């Protein structure tokens, strides 16, 4: 039997944040997904979560866990898919660390995501955008800057993180 704790610790502490560059929010979400999975498995096997073995996390258990999320906890299919994404990411990580478990890993990775209704992204009409552009004070330097940033973001469909991540080089110099 293979201890699960060292693998999950390496995945959450090293792989996600250092090798994959995941945000703290993503790391926390994945950790919560595994907390839910381990609590479910511990109830099923009548053992402490720390005593779980890798071989116990098979496709059947994970399928039952995903079903419990939707039926028992009343989670949406989107939430179910988020938990499954965390589990699949962990099992892809395990492919390189535990080659003896490749068949088990293959079966877990074959669990499909549930189809969900995709939501149409709303947009603002011109008469809704204009008050936003007019809100910064054009009499101040910051107001001119803010209006330019809003205009750039709106015209190019930028997210705030993309807008704030832009770098500017002084005139005459290149990065």
Q: Which pLDDT tens digit goes with each residue over 95-151?
A: 989 989 999 999 999 999 998 877 766 778 888 889 999 999 999 999 999 999 999
DSSP string, 56-112: G--HHHHHHHHHHHHHTS---HHHHHHHHHHHHHHHHHHHHH-GGGHHHHHHHHTPP
Question: If you ran DSSP here, which 8-state letter would residue 3 be given?
Answer: B
34-49: pLDDT as tens digits: 999 999 999 999 999 9
All structural domains of the chain with their residue ranges: 5-109, 126-164
CB-neighbour burial class of residue 72 (10 A; exposed 0-12, middle 13-18, buried 19+): exposed
Stated length of the chain:
175
Token output for 77: 């299919």
- Which of these, 34, 9, 51, lies nearest to 88 by C-alpha position? 34
Q: What is the pLDDT of residues 60-80, one digit of tens each?
A: 999 999 999 999 999 999 999
The C-alpha torsion from 48 through 50 and 54 to 55, rounded to 10°, is -20
**53 SS3 class:** strand
pLDDT at residue number 165: 82
């Amino acid at each position: 039997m293979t201890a699960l704790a060292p693998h999950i610790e390496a995945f959450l502490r090293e792989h996600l944040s250092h090798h994959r560059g995941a945000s703290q929010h993503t790391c926390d979400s994945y950790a919560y997904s595994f907390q839910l999975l381990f609590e479910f498995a511990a109830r099923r096997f009548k053992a402490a979560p720390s005593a779980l073995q890798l071989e116990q996390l098979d496709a059947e258990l994970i399928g039952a866990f995903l079903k419990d999320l939707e039926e028992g906890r009343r989670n949406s299919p989107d939430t179910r898919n988020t938990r499954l994404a965390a589990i699949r990411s962990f099992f892809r990580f395990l492919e390189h660390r535990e080659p003896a478990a490749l068949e088990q890993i293959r079966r877990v990775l074959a669990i499909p995501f549930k189809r969900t209704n995709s939501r149409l992204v709303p947009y603002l009409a011109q008469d809704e955008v204009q008050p936003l552009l007019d809100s910064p004070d054009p009499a101040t330097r910051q107001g001119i800057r803010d209006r330019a940033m809003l205009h750039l973001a709106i015209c190019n469909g930028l997210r705030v993180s993309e807008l704030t991540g832009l770098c500017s080089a002084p005139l005459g110099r290149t990065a």
